[in-house]
């Protein structure tokens, strides 16, 4: 066996140098979706390139035929591995589990290779074989036998099936998936065209350029892996269930890039379409700093977020789930978003009812105790004062007996509104029960300031209330006590404010009094 170097081999050497590292990288990341079949495809392409190079360098016909026969292993098998790659990344998993399909697909390439190596006995694939020395290096000249075209039809049928699978992705509405589909579609279309030209004799070159085209297609796909995440978490064909489900779904890769956002998530998070798949999560979810903060922690967690800009106050529950492969290598994150507005509003209503007076809407005794305890703790830390007011409507029983309980209820509501409008936003008014109200006045630390508040409340109550075509005059007695001068806890302060209030009652009502020892 004699060989000679031909200039075309420089291209073969270049592709070999490029594909070997790609093959090693793909094998290293074999757990990634589609990488197993892609690595087999790379191996077949490498075999094809090497066998073609040996055929071109060989000088005698038997050696050339032997290397040409070796090339038909990848020629027949590459469309099969591409088909399985396409089935996997388009999530036709049920086809991958059908063993009979694999047997059927492999039976034809095996049969062809057996016939190739025994062609001298029957001539079913090649006829009239001779060495053509008309060019810069000798090539095999031949005519194809009758069975060759049967195998060619099989090969092109498999290739068309691949094109149909990948072509379905081109209808994707989401740009990233269309780009993924275009990469895979174009990468396989080019060698299919090259094979067709070679089989029909339309190839203008003296050698079959299909392995070279396949080599460059492999490089093209590999670039797509880095550019568009071809074999990342989400396959190019997405389930219509995910698209139409009410749960919001966001998929991020391990680098924090947006791989998928379904319509429900876009609606819940009010994403306007400016967010592009492939963008970083920092860009895509820039309007949700709480979500970004949770994501940066890198923990699986469930959190609640509220759209504060929405006047309806929508609430959402977001679960962060880590996506790992079988080897527990991180693939990315899955964010599931549920609208929990109804639940939160129901909880808020229950909480409101538990802490507020049903008639006036004011905080009740329980809430007042919680609020006062918090304010008292802060006052102690700051060395600050805190004043408590105790207000009782004068002669309220007379109002109920004279005008009726309905009018009495409306009087209570009117007094609640008057108190809210008379005091600062930092103050809190609570209805303790009946006609008794408690007031907490943070940062109020001397008698002069308390007198200003007392006078303001009494002036506001002087106005006659017109209720159900009846004029009702309201008067009230108010007692005040101050922390820490008059007590260290709410019980002591309320007790002393109550003592001061009854002092007003004893002195004729309709006034206020500051507790003094």
Is the domain of 163 the same as that of 271? no
What is the span of the domain harbouring residue 304? 240-345
Pairing of strands 330-339, 386-393: unpaired
pLDDT over threshold 70, residue 243: no
Please report whether residue 271 resides in a domain. Answer: yes
For residues 294 and 196, membership in a common domain is answered with no
Assess if residue 2 is contained within a domain: no
Tell me the pLDDT band of 236, cut-offs 50, 70 and 90. very low
**Token code pair at residue 71:** 């090339």
- 233 found inside a domain: no
What secondary structure does DSSP assign to 203-268, as a single string? --SSS--HHHHHHHHHHHHHHHHHHH-TTSSS-SSPPHHHHH-SSEEEEEETTSBEEEE-HHHHHH
What is the percent of the chain with per-residue pLDDT over 70, rounded to a whole number? Answer: 89
Q: What is the pLDDT of residue 229?
A: 57
At which of 228, 252, 267 does a domain end? 228
Per-residue pLDDT of 411-461, as tens digits, reads 999 999 999 988 988 899 999 989 999 999 998 878 899 999 999 999 998
Q: Is residue 54 part of a domain?
A: yes
- Whether residue 49 is contained in a domain is answered as yes
Highest mean pLDDT of the ranges 219-228, 328-337, 393-402: 393-402
62 and 158 assigned to the same domain: yes
Instruction: Verify that 379 and 298 share a domain, yes or no.
Output: no
317 and 368 co-located in one domain: no
- pLDDT tier for residue 235 given thresholds of 50, 70 and 90: very low
How many separate domains does the chain show?
A: 3
Same domain, 381 and 310: no
128 and 271 part of one domain:
no
Are residues 194 and 51 part of one domain?
yes
Same domain, 445 and 315: no
Domain stops at, among 174, 205, 228: 228
Does a structural domain hold residue 4?
no
Of the three residues 180, 198, 228, the one that is the final residue of a domain is 228
- Among 77-86, 218-227, 375-384, 491-500, name the one with the lowest average pLDDT: 218-227
Count of beta carbons in the 10 Å neighbourhood of residue 74 = 25
Query: CB atoms < 10 A from the CB of 165, how many?
Result: 24
Sheet bearing 301-306, strands edge to edge: 258-261, 248-253, 330-339, 315-324, 301-306
Q: Does the structure show a pLDDT above 90 at 477?
A: yes
Residues 308, 360 within the same domain: no
CATH for 255: 3.30.450.20
Q: Are residues 455 and 382 in the same domain?
A: yes
Query: What is the pairing mode between strands 248-253 and 258-261?
Result: antiparallel
Q: pTM, whole model, 2 decimals?
A: 0.52
362, 338: one domain: no
Q: Give which of 150, 230, 147, 215 is closest to 182, Cα–Cα.
A: 230
Is the pLDDT reported for residue 239 higher than 60? no
């Amino acid at each position: 066996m004699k060989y000679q170097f031909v200039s075309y081999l420089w291209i073969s050497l270049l592709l070999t140098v490029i594909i070997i590292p790609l093959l090693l990288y793909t094998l290293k990341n074999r757990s990634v979706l589609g990488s197993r079949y892609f690595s087999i495809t790379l191996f077949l392409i490498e075999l094809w390139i090497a066998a073609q190079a040996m055929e071109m360098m060989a000088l005698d016909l038997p050696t050339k035929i032997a290397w040409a026969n070796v090339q038909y292993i990848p020629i027949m098998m590459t469309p099969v591995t591409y088909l399985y790659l396409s089935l996997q990344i388009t999530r036709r998993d049920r086809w991958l589990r059908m063993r009979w399909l694999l047997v059927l697909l492999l039976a034809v390439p095996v049969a062809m290779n057996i016939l190739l190596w025994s062609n001298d006995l029957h001539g079913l694939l090649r006829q009239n074989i001779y060495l053509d020395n008309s060019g810069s290096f000798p090539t095999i000249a031949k005519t194809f036998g009758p069975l060759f075209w049967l195998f060619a039809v099989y090969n092109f049928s498999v290739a068309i099936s691949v094109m149909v699978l990948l072509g379905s992705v081109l209808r994707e509405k989401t740009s990233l998936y269309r780009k993924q589909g275009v990469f895979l579609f174009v990468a396989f279309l080019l060698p299919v065209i090259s094979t067709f030209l070679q089989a029909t004799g339309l190839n203008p070159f003296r050698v079959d350029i299909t392995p070279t085209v396949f080599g460059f297609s492999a490089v093209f796909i590999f670039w797509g892996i880095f550019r568009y995440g071809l074999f990342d978490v989400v396959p190019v064909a997405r389930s219509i269930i995910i698209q139409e489900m009410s749960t919001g779904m966001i998929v991020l890769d391990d680098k924090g890039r947006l791989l998928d956002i379904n319509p429900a998530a876009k609606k819940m998070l009010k994403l306007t379409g400016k967010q592009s798949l492939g963008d970083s999560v920092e860009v895509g979810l820039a309007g949700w700093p709480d979500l970004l903060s949770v994501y940066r922690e890198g923990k699986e967690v469930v959190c609640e977020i509220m759209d504060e800009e929405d006047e309806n106050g929508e609430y959402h529950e977001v679960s962060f789930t880590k996506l790992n492969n079988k080897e527990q290598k991180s693939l990315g994150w899955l964010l599931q978003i549920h609208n929990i507005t109804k639940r939160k509003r129901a909880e808020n209503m229950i909480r409101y009812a538990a802490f507020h007076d049903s008639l006036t809407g004011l905080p009740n005794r329980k809430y007042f105790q919680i609020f006062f305890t918090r304010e008292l703790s802060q006052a102690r830390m700051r060395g600050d004062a805190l004043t408590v007011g105790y207000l009782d409507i004068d002669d309220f029983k007379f109002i109920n007996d004279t005008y009726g309980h309905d009018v009495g209820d409306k009087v209570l509501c009117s007094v609640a509104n008057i108190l809210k409008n008379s005091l600062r936003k930092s103050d809190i008014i609570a209805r303790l029960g009946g006609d008794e109200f408690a007031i907490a006045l943070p940062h109020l630390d001397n008698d002069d300031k308390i007198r200003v508040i007392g006078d303001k409340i009494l002036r506001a109550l002087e106005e006659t209330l017109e209720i159900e075509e009846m004029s009702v005059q309201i008067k009230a007695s108010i007692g005040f006590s101050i922390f820490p001068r008059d007590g260290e806890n709410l019980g002591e302060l309320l007790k002393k404010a109550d003592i001061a209030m009854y002092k007003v009652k004893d002195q004729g009502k309709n006034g206020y009094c500051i507790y003094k020892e």
